Amino acid sequence: METQHFDVVIVGAGLSGIGAAYHLQHRLPGKTYAILEARDAIGGTWDLFRYPGIRSDSDMHTLGYNFKPWPGAKSIADGPSIRDYVRDTAREYGIDKHIRFHHRVTGTSWSGKDARWTIAAEVGGKPVAFSCSFVMMCSGYYKYEHGYTPEFAGREKYTGAFIHPQLWPEDLDYRDKQVVVIGSGATAVTIVPEMAKTAAHVTMLQRSPTYVVSRPSEDKIANRLKKMLPRKTAYGLTRWKNVGMQMLFFNRARTQPDKVRAMITGLAQKELGDDYPVSTHFNPKYNPWDQRMCLIPDADLFREIKSGHASVVTDTIDTFTETGIKLSSGQELKADIVVSATGLDLQFLGGAEVKVDGEKIDLAKRLTYKGMMYEGVPNLISIFGYTNASWTLKCDLTCEFTCRLIKHMDRTKTHAVTPRNLSPDIQTTPWLDFSSGYVQRTIDRFPKQGDRKPWKLNQNYAADLMMLRYGKLEDPELIFS
pLDDT, position 433: 67
pLDDT, position 1: 63
pLDDT, position 142: 85
Stated as kind and residue range, the H or E segment containing 182 is strand 178-182
pLDDT, position 3: 84
Give the three-state DSSP class for 127: strand
Q: 292 pLDDT exceeds 90?
A: no
Beta bridge partners of 317: 327
Q: 432 pLDDT exceeds 80?
A: no
Rounded to the nearest 5 percent, the helix, strand and coil shares of the chain are 35, 25, 40
Q: 438 pLDDT exceeds 80?
A: no
Amino acid letter, 326? K
Q: 35 pLDDT exceeds 80?
A: yes
17, 394 in Cβ contact below 8 A?
A: no
pLDDT, position 430: 84
**Residue 440's pLDDT band (cuts 50, 70, 90):** low
pLDDT, position 79: 95
**Residue 95's pLDDT band (cuts 50, 70, 90):** very high
Evaluated on CA atoms 468, 472, 473, 479, the torsion sign reads: negative
pLDDT, position 387: 79
Sequence-distant (6+) residues with CB within 8 A of 41 are 13, 47, 101
Quick one: average pLDDT of 307-326? 97
**Residue 348's pLDDT band (cuts 50, 70, 90):** confident
20, 136 in Cβ contact below 8 A?
A: yes
Q: What is the pLDDT of residues 371-404, one digit of tens each?
A: 999 999 999 999 988 877 888 999 999 999 999 9
Quick one: average pLDDT of 229-247? 93
Quick one: average pLDDT of 195-215? 96
